[in-house]
Every structure is written in C-alpha cells, then in structure tokens.
Amino acid sequence: MHHDPDCIFCKIIEGKIPSQKVHEDELVYAFKDIHPWAPVHFLIVPKEHFASMEQAGPQHEKLLAHMLLLAPRLAKEQGCNPYPAGGYRLQINTGAEGGQEVYHLHLHVVGGSRPWFKA
Ligand code: AMP
Ligand code: ZN
C-alpha cells in the first residue's frame, strides 16, 4: 500500500492525526470532515495514496466502485434523510479549479436537512 509521509490523509489513516471514524475496511477509511458543509459531511478515502482522479486507472476499478457503492449505506447511517425527499451529494474535487485542497483522492458525502452551512 503506497503512503505519502507528507500527506495529511495518509497520517489520518495511520492514526497519527486524530479523526472521527465513520467506517473502515480493507480498501477505505471514512471520517467526518473537520469543516462540515452540512449536517452530514464525511469523506471516504482510499487507504492507498494517490492524488486525484487524474491518477486513477484500471487498477482502481474495484476501489472506486466500492467507494461509490458504500456511500449510500454510510450516508443513511450518518443521518441523511431517505431518498427521494432526502438524499445526499457525492463529490470528488479534482485539481485546483476543481476545488481540491488535499491531494489524496477522497469522496465527499454531504447531506441532511436543509439549509446547509455551505450550499
Ligand atoms: P478538498 O477541497 O476536496 O480537497 O477537501 C478537503 C477536505 O478535507 C475539506 O473539506 C477539509 O475540511 C477536510 N479536512 C482537512 N483536514 C482535515 C482533518 N484533519 N480532518 C478532517 N477533515 C479534514
Ligand atoms: Zn495520502
């Protein structure tokens, strides 16, 4: 498993920086975002370090499918309201103009009753 010693999310995965854990399995670690945009906001992060969707390849097919298919279950466990009146937003910021700040790929899962703190 590739880790970057200077990466904040690698440090969170390794337990060197504290986090509020939502879920963990062999492929991913999920934890609450420290600056939530909404009542529910957590990140699903691959345990393997790679920077963004620009570095994703066929070797990540299983991982990326796992992240997307895990999100609905964790979203409801974390308090997102039932679909279709409720729901959630799934977002992967990619590159500076995509709004990416942390260069370890992550899926934002955002939801809960509106209004949100940040739309
Ligand atoms: P992005 O802009 O898509 O790269 O998102 C990075 C996210 O990581 C932001 O929403 C931050 O609030 C969040 N974040 C940064 N540091 C931490 C941390 N130590 N624990 C939890 N979330 C963090
Ligand atoms: Zn990393």
Contact predicate 62/46, CB 8 Å:
no
* Cβ(91) – ligand 1 distance below 6 Å: no
DSSP 72-92: HHHHHHTTPPPTTTS-EEEE-
Atom of ligand 1 nearest to the CA of 17: 19
Strand order across the beta sheet in which 21-24 lies: 21-24, 28-32, 40-46, 107-111, 88-91
Instruction: Output the CA 16–ligand 2 centroid distance in Å.
Output: 12
Q: Is the peptide bond before 46 cis (omega within 30 degrees of 0)?
A: no
* Cβ(1) – ligand 1 distance below 6 Å: no
Structural domains of the chain, with CATH: 8-111 (3.30.428.10)
- pLDDT tens track, the chain, 119 positions: 788 999 999 999 999 999 999 999 999 999 999 999 999 999 999 999 999 999 999 999 999 999 999 999 999 999 999 999 999 999 999 999 999 999 999 999 999 999 999 87
* Cβ(17) – ligand 1 distance below 6 Å: yes
Contact predicate 91/108, CB 8 Å:
yes
